[in-house]
Amino acid sequence: MQKYQLLATAAAGIEALVGRELRDLGYQGQVENGRVRFEGTIEDVIKTNLWLRCADRIKIVVGEFDAYTFDDLFEGTKALAWEDLLPLDANFPVEGRSRNSKLHNVPSAQAIVKKAIVEKLSQVYHRRTRLAETGSRYPLEVVINKDHVMILLDTTGSSLFKRGYRKAKGGAPLKENMAAALVMLAHWFPDNPFVDPVCGSGTIPIEAALLAHNIAPGLNRDFACERWVNLVPEGLLDTVRDAAEDAADYDVELDIHGYDIDQNMIDIAKENARAAGLSQEITFKQLAVKDWHTDQINGVIVANPPYGERLSDQESVRELYRQMGELYRPLTTWSKYILTADLEFEKFYGAPATKKRKLYNGALRTDLFQYWGKKIR
């Protein structure tokens, strides 16, 4: 099977986690800003789309070259072996991005890349008329950074955070891959209690349960590359998906709780857990942060509380942080991981974090405030 240069793209701050996931799957990854490079076949493309919890997309690097003029871009694109990737009827839209480059006009760059590919395919397939583009979709992207061009083929389709289980959501939902990243950063072991005190539509507890049961997050959805019959040998999809289903371990007993002050959100969370096939694994309950108490030890709290972006909300949100501090500080064996955009969080919580980690929730800069517990063995 042909080997490709591949990229797993990721949000700023979690690239290293994606690198770790790839290593766990048996790949050598090179972590860069916003992405991890690795090598693999079309089977590896399907496998990583199915298994990566924190990545956004898997892309094939069709080619890389430097371009200072539109002629350079045209010739560099045309020289690539498009016939190895695109069938005659391929539908191949071209998106584009450019930073700090002479070729800064993105629509022109997209049009030139498209024209070069059309010319190459017309030569190879001996076509004089327009290409039909009625077949499967092969989404392409031209990325120009400091005059260096990368031409990428997106294998994923809609972003990997769309797992297929979120039937409804609240006002400011956390993306599923960011929720998975928080669970992984919490170093939680499934034999310990896991609590999300402000669970909203249930994304963090659901991602924790998927991880604990070793359920591939992409099992409930499909990917763009699954329709590429010219690249995917018959039967390969079923083989990779069957292997992923066999890898799940449903025998692990879990103690995962999600709470929210809003009964409506709890109902949504239960519906989402049902859609993920995890309704028996997670206990959702309407409960205010201040009303929660526990005698358990060695647990993990992962929370994405409201940020108080609007000034009218700020006071009530900071009151919530104060309540968290009063409740959680005495729980010395518990580890707490709280994601917020409020950089003054520690002041209201009443204790400095053991460690802070900068993460981007979409375009919003947030910090993960980590309070590590002293486990009793």
| CATH code, 62 | 3.30.2130.30
CATH number of the domain that 319 lies in?
A: 3.40.50.150
Residues 333 and 209 in one domain: yes
Give SS3 for 375: coil
Q: What is the per-residue pLDDT across 106-143, written as a single tens digit (0 to 9) for each?
A: 999 999 999 999 999 999 999 888 899 999 999 999 99
Q: What is the per-residue pLDDT across 137-151, written as a single tens digit (0 to 9) for each?
A: 999 999 999 999 999
Residues 146 and 197 in one domain: no
Q: Is the pLDDT of residue 308 over 70?
A: no
pLDDT band at 180 (very low <50, low <70, confident <90, very high): very high
Residues 133 and 255 in one domain: no
Residues 117 and 185 in one domain: no
Residues 103 and 141 in one domain: yes
Residues 191 and 104 in one domain: no
pLDDT band at 168 (very low <50, low <70, confident <90, very high): confident
Q: Are 361 and 327 in contact (CB under 8 A)?
A: no
Q: What angle do CA 16, 205, 192 make, to 5 degrees?
A: 85
Could you give the CA distance from residue 263 to residue 331 in angstroms, rounded to a whole number? 26
User: Which of 5-9, 61-65, 164-168, 256-260 shows the lowest mean pLDDT across its residues?
Assistant: 164-168
Residues 348 and 214 in one domain: yes
Q: Give the pTM.
A: 0.95
Q: Is the pLDDT of residue 312 over 80?
A: no
Number of structural domains (the chain) is 2
Could you give the CA distance from residue 240 to residue 131 in angstroms, rounded to a whole number? 33
> What percentage of the chain reaches a pLDDT higher than 70?
99
Is residue 51 included in any domain, yes or no?
yes
Give SS3 for 43: helix
Could you give the CA distance from residue 21 to residue 17 in angstroms, rounded to a whole number? 6
User: Both tokens of residue 157?
Assistant: 């389709």
Q: Are 98 and 148 in contact (CB under 8 A)?
A: no
Residues 121 and 180 in one domain: no
Q: Which of 176, 186, 91, 179 is nearest to 131 (CA)?
A: 91
Q: Identify any residues that bridge with 57 across adjacent strands, giving them in sequence order.
A: 9
Strand order in the sheet with 364-371: 282-286, 256-260, 194-196, 300-303, 335-340, 364-371, 355-361
φ, ψ of residue 167 in degrees (nearest 5): -80, -30
Q: What is the pLDDT of residue 170?
A: 73
Residues 95 and 137 in one domain: yes
pLDDT band at 313 (very low <50, low <70, confident <90, very high): confident
Q: What is the pLDDT of residue 86?
A: 97
User: Which of 124, 154, 184 is a domain's end point?
Assistant: 154
Number of Cβ within a 10 Å radius of residue 298:
18
Q: What angle do CA 262, 189, 162 make, to 5 degrees?
A: 55
Q: What is the pLDDT of residue 68?
A: 97
Q: Are 308 and 317 in contact (CB under 8 A)?
A: yes
Q: Domain containing 80: what range? A: 4-154
Residues 184 and 299 in one domain: yes
Q: What is the pLDDT of residue 306?
A: 84
Q: What is the mean pLDDT of residues 209-238?
A: 96
Q: Is the pLDDT of residue 303 over 90?
A: yes
